[in-house]
Structure formats: C-alpha cells, structure tokens
C-alpha cells in the first residue's frame, strides 16, 4: 500500500467494523493524536507514532460509552493493552487492533527485543535487538560504581512526572509518588526513592516501550533501569508482562493460587 492512512481506515472501518479510529495524524505540520469517527475524513495519518497511543486510549476510554475503537498499535502498545485488559481497565472486546511493525530506527531507539506485533497490517517486521549495551555494562560494574552511576543520573531528575504521565501502564488512581510520605513536596531532585518506587511498581507491568526515557527532559536512562528490573522479574518468577492470561506473581500465593481481591 502506498498510502498507509487509506489502508488503516479501510482496515478499521470497512473490514473490521470499528466505529472510531485512534491514530496519529499530521495537522499544520505537527503530529498529534486523532480520534476519528466512522465516515469522517481520516486526514494525513502517520505511521511513525511518536508516543504511546494506548496511554491516550486509556485516558479517553472512560468517556467512550459505546462503540468499537480501532487503535494503531505496535508490539509494546499491544502488550500494554493486554496488561490493561488483564487488570479490567479496558474491555478487550471493544478494541480493534491494527498492527504496525516498527521501523529499524524505532527499534534501535528502544533497544527493543520484541518488535513484531502478533498481527502485522502495516509496515514490514524488523529484527529485534539482543541486548541493551548499557545494562550489560552496569551489570559488569561493582555495586559501588553502579550506585554512583545511578545517583549521578537521578540527580538530574526535576520531578516533572513526565515518566509516569506518559506511561501506558501507570494506572493507579492515587499515585504514591504524589504523597509527601514518599516524595518530599518541596525541592528537586526528588531523591532516589522516587525512581526506586517507580521501578518496583512497574516491575510486573512494564512493557519496555521506552516512553519514560523518551519523555524524560533530563535524559535519564530509565529504559535501561526498566529492562534490568524486568530481567529480575523473569529470573525470579519467570514472569513476563504483556499477555492477557498470566497473572502477576505479586498477586498470587507461593503455590500460584490467586489471592483474594484487594479492596480499596
């Protein structure tokens, strides 16, 4: 297909029966999210999506009472969507997926190990990376060197909350990072606790989309930290986020039975 926009709208509205389409399009020289109803002009749809559409889907979903929503998703967004469906935040039956394979440049930016969505509609599948160079270097360091590295990195943080705002799987209603118990109200940088708490909270749902790193104005290598935490989770419990069936090991007993529901 030479025009991906036409192809996406054909797939969404004609072939798969969607009522709305969520994609990224170009308007007045800027790329922005577009929410198009059936029958409207889709405009100049872009396939180099600059951020996570699932984050936007999650934020508009509570206001969408009916209708099927088609979303253009890459592999990381697909995994994030699965995590949201698993946690009951989004009804999976109402979402229609249009798979988009990442370009080489995007794969390189995320050091992505798993770039191909389960159903590729647009683009050609690229090859994933094997390993994140920085996390390899960090693992080879002594623990003092590693601490020095992260302290220097986390000192750059200006507590803008971009990492948690743009995160597709940051789903709590009340964020503990906004409580003064854990992160001081005044003063920047917020300290090491901010980032360690985020690492712990995302350990069973991070999909390694790299949005935290890309949106960080201080260029803290957060994606590397996420990758290291995910690797730990895999080593400890053999758990990988990103499907609708596997329950997070933090929500099961030692024998693997489901814990009772937590009440708010």
Partner 1 sequence: MTDFKPSILAFCCNWCSYAGADLAGVSRLQMPPNVHVIRVMCSASVKPEYVIKAVTQGIDGVLVLGCHIGDCHYLTGNHRTAKRIPLLQKILDEAGIDSRRIKLDWVSAAEGEKYQKVVTEFVEEIRRLGPNPLREVRF
User: Do the Cβ atoms of 125 and 119 come closer than 8 Å?
Assistant: no
What element of type H or E holds 34?
strand 30-37
Q: Is 98 exposed, middle or buried (0-12, 13-18, 19+ CB in 10 A)?
A: buried
Q: Is 196 in the site for partner 1 (CB under 8 A)?
A: yes
Number of chain positions touching partner 1 (CB under 8 A): 41
Phi then psi for residue 258, to 5 deg, are -75, 135
Distance CA 37, CA 23 (A): 11
Q: Is 237 in the site for partner 1 (CB under 8 A)?
A: yes
Query: Can you list the pairs that 230-233 forms with residues at least 24 positions away whose Cβ atoms lie under 8 Å?
Result: 230/203, 230/206, 231/135, 232/203, 233/203, 233/204
β-pairing verdict for 95-99 and 69-73: parallel
3-state SS class at 12: helix
Distance CA 156, CA 133 (A): 21
Q: Is 182 in the site for partner 1 (CB under 8 A)?
A: yes
Residue 94 or 146: the one with the smaller Cβ distance to partner 1 is: 146
Residue 144 or 245: the one with the smaller Cβ distance to partner 1 is: 144
Contact region with partner 1 (CB under 8 A), list: 19-27, 45-53, 187-195, 211-219: 187-195
Q: Is 235 in the site for partner 1 (CB under 8 A)?
A: yes
Closest of 213, 260, 224, 227 to residue 51, by C-alpha: 213
Contact region with partner 1 (CB under 8 A), list: 12-20, 56-64, 101-109, 225-233: 225-233
Residues 117-176 that bind partner 1 (CB under 8 A): 138, 143-151, 154-155, 176
Among 12, 225, 241, 242, binds partner 1 (CB under 8 A): 225
Whole-Å CA distances, 135 to 109, 139, 202, 221: 15, 6, 17, 10
Residue 42 or 197: the one with the smaller Cβ distance to partner 1 is: 197
Contact region with partner 1 (CB under 8 A), list: 11-19, 49-57, 121-129, 254-262: 254-262
Q: Is 229 in the site for partner 1 (CB under 8 A)?
A: yes
Among 190, 210, 221, 242, binds partner 1 (CB under 8 A): 190
Residue 75 or 227: the one with the smaller Cβ distance to partner 1 is: 227
Q: Is 206 exposed, middle or buried (0-12, 13-18, 19+ CB in 10 A)?
A: buried
Distance CA 101, CA 94 (A): 22
Rounded to a whole number of angstroms, the minimum distance from the CB of residue 2 to partner 1 is 46
Rounded to a whole number of angstroms, the minimum distance from the CB of residue 144 to partner 1 is 7
Contact region with partner 1 (CB under 8 A), list: 42-50, 86-94, 206-214, 227-235: 227-235
List of residues contacting partner 1 (CB under 8 A): 138, 143-151, 154-155, 176, 181-182, 189-193, 195-197, 199-200, 203, 225, 228-229, 232-233, 235-237, 249-250, 252-254, 259-260
């Amino acid at each position: 297909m030479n025009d991906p926009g036409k192809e996406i709208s054909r797939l969404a509205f004609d072939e798969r029966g969607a009522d709305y389409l969520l994609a990224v399009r170009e308007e007045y020289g800027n790329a922005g999210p577009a929410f198009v109803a059936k029958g409207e002009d889709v405009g100049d749809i872009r396939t180099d999506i600059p951020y996570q559409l699932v984050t936007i889907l999650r934020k508009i979903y509570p206001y969408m009472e009916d209708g099927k929503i088609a979303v253009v998703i890459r592999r990381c967004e697909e995994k994030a969507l699965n995590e949201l469906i698993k946690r009951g935040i989004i009804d999976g039956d109402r979402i229609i997926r249009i798979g988009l394979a990442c370009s080489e440049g995007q794969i390189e930016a995320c050091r992505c190990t798993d770039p191909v969505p389960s159903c590729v509609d647009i683009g050609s599948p690229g090859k994933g990376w094997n390993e994140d160079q920085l996390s390899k270097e960090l693992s080879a360091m002594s623990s003092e060197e590693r601490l020095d590295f992260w302290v220097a990195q986390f000192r750059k943080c200006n507590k803008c909350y971009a990492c948690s705002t743009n995160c597709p799987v940051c789903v709590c209603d009340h964020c503990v990072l906004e409580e003064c118990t854990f992160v001081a109200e005044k003063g920047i940088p917020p300290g090491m606790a901010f980032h360690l708490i985020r690492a712990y909270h995302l350990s069973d749902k991070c999909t390694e989309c790299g949005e935290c790193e890309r949106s960080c104005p201080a260029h803290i290598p957060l994606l590397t930290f996420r990758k290291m935490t995910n690797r730990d989770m895999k080593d400890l419990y053999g758990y990988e986020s990103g499907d609708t069936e596997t329950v997070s090991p933090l929500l099961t007993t030692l024998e693997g039975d489901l814990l009772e529901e937590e009440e708010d």
